[in-house]
Amino acid sequence: MNSFPWLTVLLIVPAVAAVVVMAVPRRFATVAKQITLAVTLVEFGLALLATIAYEPSRAGFQFAQKYSWIRQFGVSYSVGADGISLVLILLATLLVPVVVLASWDEVAGPAQAGAGGADVVSRRSVSAFFALLLALEVGMIGVFAATDVFLFYVFFEAMLIPMYFLIGSYGAVKEQAQRSYAAVKFLLYSLFGGLLMLAAVIGLYVVSADQLGTGTFDFATLRQLDITPGVQKLLFLGFFIAFAIKAPLFPFHTWLPDAGAQSPTGGAILLVGVLDKVGTFGLIRYCIPLFPDASSYFAPMVLALAVVGIFYGALLAIGQRDMKRLVAYTSLAHFGFIAMGTFALTSQGGTGAVLYMVNHGLSTGLLFLVVGFLVTRRGSRDVSAYGGMAKVTPVLAGVFLIAGLSSLALPGLNSFVSEFLVLAGTFTRYRALAIVATCGIVLAAIYILYLFQRTMTGPLVHEQAKGVLDLSVREKIVVAPVVALIIALGVYPKPLIDIIRPTVTATFEDAGHTDPAPSVPVNAAPVNASQAGGHS
Amino acid sequence: MSAAPTAVLGQQLLAQDVLTQSTRGTIDVPSIQYGALSPIIIVFGVALAAVLIDAFAPAKARRTLQPLLAAGGFAAAFVAVVLLRGRRQILAAGAVAIDSPTLFMEGAILLFAFLAVLLVAERRLDSSGGAIVASAALTPGSPGATAARTSAGVQTEVYALMAFSVAGMLLFVSANTLLTMFVALEILSLPLYLLAGLARRRRLLSQEAAMKYFLLGAFSSAFFIYGLAFLYGYAGSVDLGRIADAAGTVGANDTYLYLGMALLGIGLFFKIGAAPFHSWTPDVYQGSPTPITAFMAAGTKVAAFGALLRVFYVAFGGLRWDWRPIVWTIAILTMVVGAVLALTQRDIKRMLAYSAIAHAGFLLTGLAAANSDGLRGSLFYLVAYGFTTIAAFGLVTMVRTSDGEASDLSQWQGLGRRSPTLAGIFAFLLLALAGIPLTSGFTGKFAVFQAAVAGHATPLVVVALVTSAIAAFFYVRVIVLMFFQEPATEGPIVVTRPTLTYAAVGVGAIVTLLLGVAPQPLLDLAGTAAASGFVR
C-alpha cells in the first residue's frame, strides 16, 4: 500500500478538477458545484485511506516520491508525509468539502441574481469560485506535502493567488473598497514575508552548495548541514518572519482581522483554518530542524511574542463588534498557544501544538461557519444586529455554543486536550510563562461567552429577526461532521496523537532538544500524561 | 525616411576599413566568414530589400509584402542562428565575435522582433488600420495631421526601420571591438528614434518621445565614444580582448582606464534604462506606438544587456573588484527608482515603463554576481522578461476607447467583468512581472538572485527582494482595478478580432507559463552558453 503515490494523486485530482470546473459554462453552474463537491469528497476519502496506510512507528517521510524538476538549481518535485503534515492534510481535505457545501448558495450566479442594477454587483462566476477553491486545495496539500524547500516555497506563494481572488472577488458584497483593501493587504503581507523567506531559501541553497559541492533543496539533506550560528540566525529570521506573518503572530497580525472579516465564509474558514497553519507548520517543520541553534537562541523571543499574542488577541476579541473580526482575533490568541507549544521545545508541547493546529481548524472553522450562517440571514456582521437569536434559531445557537466552548477549550471538547498538552509541555521548561499563559484561558471564556450572550441569549432584540430560519438540512449536513469530530477528539484524541507524537519527538531529538527531566518525580512519563488529558 | 539608416550603413563599412587598418597595420583583405555572419547579413538584406520594396512596389502590395518579408527574414535569421549553435570564433578581422552567449541573445532578439512584427502588422485594432501613422512629419494639430490620423493610407517604412534596428541589435551583441559596438549602437538607435515618433494617435506625445529619445540618446552615444577614446588611449586598441590584456598589466595609466570604463558604462547603462540614466524610459515608452514600445522593451533590453555583459565580462573581467561596487550602487538605485516611481503612475504604459526600469535593476544583480551563474541567470531573465513584456504591451493595444488605446489606469476598471479572458491573461502577466512562482518571472528572478548570493552579493539580493515586494503592489493594484471593482459605465471596448495581436500575446503568455513550470530546457541552453562564456 505504501508504494501507492498518495500525495501525488491528492495533488493531481483537484488540479485537474480546477481546470475542468473553470471551463464549465455559466449556464451549468450547478454542475460546477456538483463536480467540486464530488472531487473534494473523493479527496477526503483518499486522505483517509492514506492515513490508514501510514505507519506511525516508521521514521522519516512516507509515501515519498522524488523526480528532478529543475536540475540546474537542484530542485526536485519531492513529496512525502510525516505525522505532522499528514494530520494537516487530513484537516485540509476535510474542511474543503465542508466549505464547498457551505458556499453552495453563497455565490449567486447570473441566473439567481436580481434584475437591473443588482445584476452588476452579483454577476460573479460561480464556476470560477469553485475552481479557485480547488486550486487552493492543491496549494494547501502541496505546501504540507513538499519535502523540497523550493517546492514548498512555490506552493507557499502560489497558494496566495486563489485566496487573494476569493477575498477580492467574492468577499463582502457591499463593501467593495474594504474588500479590495483586505485582499491587497493579505497578499502584500504574505508576499513580503515570502520574499524574505526566499532570501533565506537562496541562502540555504548557497550554504549547501558550499558544503556539498552541488546545491540542493532537499529537506532531508539540508537537515544534515552544519551551519555556523551566525548564518543560522539570519536564515532563521528569514523563515521565521515569513511564518510569523502567515500564522500570524503578534505583531505581524494586522492583516488577519481585515482578511477574515472581508472573506466569504468559505474563504475565511480555509484562511484561518488551514492557510494560517502553514505558518505554524513551517515553524515546527522548517525553523526548528534546519536551524536548531538559532531556534534555541530565539526561543525566548518567540515565546514572549506568543504570550503577548495570547493576551493581545483575547483583549481585542473582547472589544470587537464585528463578529468575523472577533473570531479572527481569537485566532491570534490561539496561534500564540501554538507558537508557545512549538518553541517550548519539548515533545509534549510540540505534540500539543500540532494537535492544536488541527483542533483550532475545527473549532474556528465551525465558528466561522455559524457566523457566516448568521450573516447570510441578517446581512450584518455587527453583534448588535443580533440578540436573543436562540429563540428563533435553537439549532444554530446550539452549534454556536459547541463551537464557542471548543474554542475556549472546555474539558471534554477537542481543544482542551491540545491546550493542556501545550501548557504542560511549556511548564516543564518555562514555569512562569506557562502560568501566565494559563490566565489567557480565562480571557477566552470571556470573549466567547460574552459574544454568545449578546447574540443568542435573552429576549429577541430585533423584530425583523423573528422570521429568520433555523439551519436548513444542507447546513446541518455541513456542521454535523465538524461537531462530531469536536466531541470525538475531545473524548478520544489518541489516534491523532499516535500519528503526531513520533514525528514531533524525532524532530526535537534530531535538533538536539531533549525534554527536561521532571524536577518532581512523577509516576507516569509525560507521554502518558498527555493521554490523561483525553478524558477517555 | 530610409535614407538615414542607409547612410549609417555606409559609415559602418567605412568604420570596418578603419578598423582593419588599425588592427592589422597593412591593408589586407580580411577573411570574412559570411556563413558565421549570416544572421546579421540576412537581416541587413531584409532591411535593404524593404527600402527597395517601399520605393518600387505598389501601395497595396507593400502592405502584405513588407510584414511577410520582415517576419520571414527574422525567421530565416533565427534558423541561421540555430544552425550556428556551438560556433565560437572571432570573425571579420576581430570586429565580430560569435559564441554561445552571443548566439543565445541573437536568437532572443530575433524571436522578439518576430513577435513585434505581428503586433505592428495588426490592422484590425484601429478603425483606420494599424498603430502607425502615415505621415509622421506633419505638425500635430495641422489639418493634414488630423486627416492622417483617420487616413487609411498606411506607409510601410516601419518594417525597414525595424529591420535596420534589429540588424544593429544583432551586431551590438556580437561586437568584439568598441568601434564596431559604437557603430552597431547607432544602427540600432537611429531607427528607434524615428520609430518612437510614429504613433497614429496622440501625435504630440509621440513626437516629444522621439525628440527626447534622440537628444538623450545622442548624449549617451557621446559618452560612449568619449569612453572609447579614453580606452583606446589606454590600451592602444579598441579590441575588447586587448583592453583586458592591457588592464591586466601593471604600470599603464589607470586614470584613462577608469575614466574610459565609467564613460562607456554610462552609454550602456543609458540604453538598458538604469537609474540615474533612466529618465527617457517612461516618456519614450508612453509616447511610442505600443507595438514599438513592446519591441523596444524586449529587444533593446537584450541588445543593450548583451553589450553590457560582454564589455564587463570580457574587457573589464579582471577589474571586477573595481566595478562591482558601482554596479551594486546602480542596481540598487535602479530597482528602488523603478519600483517606487511605478507606484505613482496613472498610465498603464508609464507603469510598465517603470516596471522595465525595476527589471533592469534585477538584471543588474546578475551582472553584480560576476560569475557564470550570473551570466546564465541574466540570459534566462532576458528571454523570460522579453516574452512577458511583449505580451503585456500587446494586450494594452487591445483595450481601446473610440479615441485609441485606453492607457489611463482608471479606464481599466472592471475589465475583469467585461472580458474575463483578456483580463485574466493580463493578470497572469502582471503576476509574472511581479515574480510569483510558476511563472517565468519567478524562475528568472531566482536564477539571478541565487547567482548573486553565491557571488557574495547578499545585501543586494535583500534589497532586490524588498523592492520586489514594493513592485508587487502596483501590479496587484491593476488586478484590483480589473477584477474587484465594478466596471465604469463608459468603459473601454476590447477589440476581439485582432488575430495577429492575439497570436503574439498568446505566444508570450504561453512561454511565460512554460518557463515557470518547465524552465529546464531554456536553463540548460543558458547554462551551457554561460559556461562556455564569451570568446576573447
Residue A108: per-residue pLDDT: 58
A135 reaches B (C-beta below 8 A): no
Q: What is the pLDDT of residues A101-119, one digit of tens each?
A: 988 887 654 434 333 333 3
pLDDT attached to residue B275: 85
Report A:145-164 residues touching B (Cβ under 8 A). Answer: 153-155, 157-158, 160-161, 164
pLDDT grade for A2, boundaries at 50, 70 and 90? low
Chain A, 64 to 123: residues with Cβ < 8 Å from chain B are 69-73, 120-121, 123
Q: Taking the model in full, what pTM does it have? A: 0.90
Percentage of chain A modeled with pLDDT above 70: 93
- Tell me which of A448-452, B129-133, B447-451 is least confident: B129-133
Is 50 exceeded by the pLDDT of residue A528? no
- Is B473 within 8 Å of A179 when comparing Cβ atoms? no
* Residue of A380, A365, A379, A374 whose CA lies nearest to A395: A374
Chain B interface includes A195 (CB < 8 A): yes
Put simply, whether A169 touches B (Cβ < 8 Å) is: yes
Question: Could you check whether the bond before residue A251 is cis, i.e. omega within 30 degrees of 0?
Answer: yes
Concatenating the DSSP letter of every residue in B81-104 gives: HHHTTT--EEETTTTEEE-HHHHH
Burial of A297 (0-12, 13-18, 19+ CB in 10 A): middle
Contact B466 A195 (CB under 8 A): yes
- Is a pLDDT exceeding 80 seen at residue B450? yes
Q: How confident is the model at residue B98 (pLDDT cuts 50, 70, 90)?
A: very high
Number of A/B CB contacts below 8 angstroms equals: 97
- Name the minimum distance, in Å, from the CA of A145 to any CA of chain B: 17
Q: What is the pLDDT of residue A306?
A: 93
Residues ≥6 apart with Cβ < 8 Å to B13: none
Contact A176 B484 (CB under 8 A): yes
Residue B11 CA to residue B5 CA, distance in Å, equals 10
Least confident of A24-38, A221-235, B5-19: B5-19
Confidence of residue B4 (pLDDT cuts 50, 70, 90): very low
Q: B139 falls in which pLDDT band (50, 70, 90)? A: confident
Q: How confident is the model at residue B376 (pLDDT cuts 50, 70, 90)?
A: very high
A279-334 confidence digits (pLDDT tens): 999 999 999 999 999 999 999 999 999 999 999 999 999 988 888 999 999 999 99
- Those residues of chain B whose CB sits closer than 8 Å to some CB in chain A are 376, 416-417, 420, 431, 434, 436-438, 442-443, 446-447, 449-450, 453-454, 458, 461-462, 465-466, 468-469, 472-473, 476-477, 479-480, 483-487, 519-520, 523-524, 527
Residue B450 is nearest to which of A71, A165, A202, comparing CB atoms?
Answer: A202
The shortest CB-CB distance from A205 to any of B434, B437, B450 is to B450
Q: What is the mean pLDDT of chain A?
A: 87
CB < 8 Å to B524, chain A: 71-72
Could you tell me what percent of chain A has a pLDDT over 90?
A: 55
Binary contact (A184, B477; C-beta < 8 A): yes
Q: Is the pLDDT of residue B315 over 80?
A: yes
Mutate to test the interface with B, among A138, A143, A206 (most CBs of B within 10 A): A206
A457-468 burial, b at 16+ Cβ within 10 Å, e below that, comes to eeebeeeebeeb
% pLDDT > 70, chain B: 91
pLDDT tens per residue, range B29-62: 767 788 889 999 999 999 999 999 988 988 888 8
Contacts of B475 in chain A (CB under 8 A): none
Which chain A residues contact residue B465 at CB under 8 A? 195-196, 198-199
**Contacts with A69 from chain B: Cβ below 8 Å:** 520
Q: Residues 6 or more apart from A491 whose CB is under 8 A from it?
A: A412, A534, A535, A536
| Chain B residue at shortest CA distance from A177 | B485
Kindly tell me the sign of the dihedral angle through the C-alpha atoms of A195, A197, A200, A201. negative
Decide if B436 and A157 are in contact by the 8 Å CB cutoff.
yes
Q: How far apart are CA A162 and CA A133, in angstroms?
A: 7
| pLDDT at residue number B152 | 65
Q: Could you tell me if A288 and A345 are in contact, meaning their C-beta atoms sit under 8 angstroms apart? A: yes
Q: Which stretch of A375-384, B232-241, B424-433, B457-466 has the lowest confidence by average pLDDT?
A: A375-384
pLDDT at A123: 54
Least confident piece of the model among A202-211, A345-354, A411-420, A527-536 = A527-536
Strand (E) or helix (H) holding A392: none
Quote the longest CA-to-CA distance of chain B.
74
B213 vs A512: which has the higher pLDDT = B213
Quote the pLDDT of residue A366. Answer: 94
Residue A5: pLDDT above 80?
A: yes
pLDDT tens digit sequence for B208-228: 999 999 999 999 999 999 999
The model's confidence at residue B410, banded by pLDDT at 50, 70 and 90, is confident
- Residue among B431, B468, B477 minimizing CB distance to A161: B431
Please tell me the distance in Å from A50's CA to the nearest CA on chain B. Answer: 27
Is A72–B473 a contact, with Cβ atoms under 8 angstroms apart? no
What is the structure's pLDDT at B133? 77
- Over 60: is that where the pLDDT of B23 sits? no
pLDDT of residue A186: 92
Q: What pLDDT score was predicted for residue B126?
A: 73
What pLDDT was estimated at residue B122?
A: 85
Helix, strand and coil content of chain A, in percent to the nearest 5, comes to 75, 5, 20
Residue B138: per-residue pLDDT:
75
Tracing cell 463593501 back to the chain, one arrives at: A175
Judged by average pLDDT, the poorest of A398-407, B85-94, B300-309 is: B85-94
A198 and B CB contact within 8 Å: yes
Per-residue pLDDT tens digits for B193-213: 999 998 888 888 899 999 999
Amino acid in position A268: A
Q: Which of A169, A191, A239 to mutate to test the interface with B (most CBs of B within 10 A)?
A: A191
pLDDT at residue A11 tops 90? yes
Cβ–Cβ gap A198/B446 under 8 Å: yes
**Nearest in space to A140 (alpha carbons), one of A123, A156, A122, A117:** A156
Could you read off the pLDDT of A163-200 as tens digits, one per residue? 999 998 888 777 778 888 999 999 999 999 999 999 99
| Tens-digit pLDDT profile for residues A215-268 | 889 998 898 888 898 999 999 999 999 999 988 888 888 899 999 888 888 899
Confidence (pLDDT) at B296: 93
Residues in chain A with CB shorter than 8 Å from the CB of B474 are none
For B191, residues 6+ apart whose C-beta sits below 8 A from its C-beta are B5, B161, B162, B164, B165, B168
Yes or no: say if A209 and B454 are a contact pair by the CB < 8 Å rule: yes
Q: Is a pLDDT exceeding 80 seen at residue A412?
A: yes
pLDDT exceeds cutoff 90 at A12: yes
pLDDT above 70 for A519: no
Q: Which of B437, B447, B453 sits opposite A157 (nearest CB)?
A: B437
Check if A211 contacts B (Cβ < 8 Å): no
How far apart are alpha carbons B231 and B315 in whole angstroms?
Answer: 10
